[in-house]
Amino acid sequence: MSQKRAVVLLSGGLDSTTVLGHALAEGWAAHALSFDYGQRHRLELDRAAEIAAALGAVEHRVVRVDLGSFGASALTDEIPVPKDRVDLGGDIPVTYVPARNTVFLSLALAWAETLNCTDLFVGVNALDYSGYPDCRPEYLAAFETLANLATKLGVEGGPPFRVHAPLLELSKADIVRMAVRLGLDLSRTVSCYDPSNDGVPCGRCDACQLRAKGFAEAGVADPALAGRPSKVGSE
């Protein structure tokens, strides 16, 4: 009845699916939000819709924002996705999409305000990650500050905006364990930056490597790979 509403960013990957499951388990009425931003791998939008429905989000919305028109990222442009990188914690890679989380959180903020809610959930993670600047705790804190200055809800003295990032300090293995504990079906999640058209992960991009490491360290088989030929090692 008076269940508290939250906007949950949902890409359809392991992390955001776990965050959605976590928010629902905490009792939030979750409004899931995905973006059609010109990404190369549009499969994730279908998977996000599927996952939102399966987990029990109140609704799922896909908002178009034409980030692809700016180019300059391997996720939206004709730049090849790097494979088999060794030092994943080093330089910011070409899969970085300029200001992506800021654009996404801004749109989440806009929707939250129309829903009259002040809680946002996001699956960013500052431990096993690719070194994107907009995944760090100080970034999220600055966004909260901004949100409370930017909005009608923020200035009217109600509860302040809060960006919940429950995965922030977790390793990928911890995230897999959290998902398992929550009983989430991860078989339809897609993490790969460069999947085949029918959804087979490449196994070699940063996202595939981090995911594989997480499942391995958690001692769990990745259900998304069950019954599928892995492309790892093949070419």
Which residues contact a copy of itself by CB under 8 A?
Answer: 61, 63-67, 69-72, 92, 96-103, 106-107, 109-111, 113-114, 133-134, 136, 138-139, 142-143, 145-147, 149-152, 154-155
| 117 C-beta neighbours (distance < 10 Å), count | 19
- Comparing CB distances to a copy of itself, the nearer of 139 and 193 is 139
Given its phi and psi angles, is residue 127 left (phi above 0), alpha (psi -120 to 50 degrees) or beta?
A: alpha
d(CA 62, CA 33): 6
CB of 132 to a copy of itself, least distance (A): 8
Contacts for 182 with CB less than 8 Å, ≥ 6 apart: 18, 21, 22, 25
CB of 16 to a copy of itself, least distance (A): 19
Contacts for 180 with CB less than 8 Å, ≥ 6 apart: 218, 220
What's the half-sphere exposure (Cβ side, CA atoms, 13 Å) at 4?
15
CB of 38 to a copy of itself, least distance (A): 10
Length of the chain: 235
- Comparing CB distances to a copy of itself, the nearer of 36 and 217 is 36
- Comparing CB distances to a copy of itself, the nearer of 81 and 186 is 81
CB of 141 to a copy of itself, least distance (A): 9
Tokens of 221: 């088989």
CB of 23 to a copy of itself, least distance (A): 20
- Comparing CB distances to a copy of itself, the nearer of 2 and 69 is 69
Cα-flanking dihedrals φ and ψ of residue 162, to 5°?
A: -135, 130
- Comparing CB distances to a copy of itself, the nearer of 25 and 62 is 62
